[in-house]
Homo-oligomer: A and B are copies of this chain.
């Protein structure tokens, strides 16, 4: 009995559902049987079982601990949305942020970054990689690329403490004004997973931000990866009159965010456990 034995009922799925059932009968933190035990119970090979477990780990339902075993994940993040009848209190950003500098050099921009910053590929930029932590726990990896000629005296100290934008304004006479930011989902690589202390291929948010100063010059290009299990974006949407009373376009409307919507953002690290 191998892969494609008619029916499209993958062995992985059967195994996954079995473990899922197992999880539901347990509480967060409880241990589940070892890989080898489950293999025997379900009559599947270990790679197959691991493939099934991989899904559950990626989905955040299970955590693995090398040498110890597998455990039901402490919380399901999708169960956290608060909505207390009237006011809708947001779990406002909590915890104290800190940074650990991973790298800090001045290098040539290169083609890709140069294009984004409207610079020659040979122009110097300050490149810094920071691990951002909340209450000591890793939350994000930030890759900053800043025009070197604008901040010739930028120090490592300034990247490790305080608000970078404030340092830019106070010490370097660079006043940031606006930015364009894109957000998309991604998964963490092995190296990123190690830094963020999450399993390989865990969901994450990828931010790309291009910041301009008051003169319209591109100042920095930031590329960040935020942990998906601890970070979420919360927005309050208000449907304005032009939409609720006007003629909404049949085509081109956006289900996720209705047109004419005014949004207020909060980006909040969610508290663990």
Contact = CB atoms under 8 A, between A and B. Distances in A.
A64 to B, nearest CB: 16
In the complex, the count of this chain's copies comes to 2
A122 B116 CA distance: 54
A210 interface: yes
Interface stretch (A34-42, A101-109, A149-157, A173-181): A173-181
B165 A248 contact: yes
A233 interface: yes
A162 interface: yes
A170 to B, nearest CB: 11
Interface in A132-162: 132, 140, 142, 162
Contacts of A186: 59-60, 185, 203, 228
Contacts of A184: 77-78, 203, 205, 228, 231-233
A232 B183 contact: yes
A81 B258 contact: no
The listed residue with most B CB atoms (<10 A of its CB), out of A55, A140, A234, A257, is A257
Task: Say what secondary structure dominates the interface of chain A.
Answer: mixed
B59 A208 contact: no
Contacts of A257: 181, 265, 267
B228 A116 contact: no
A255 B140 contact: yes
B116 A178 contact: no
B203 A234 contact: no
Given A83-B218, A182-B233, A203 B187 contact: yes
B181 A234 contact: yes
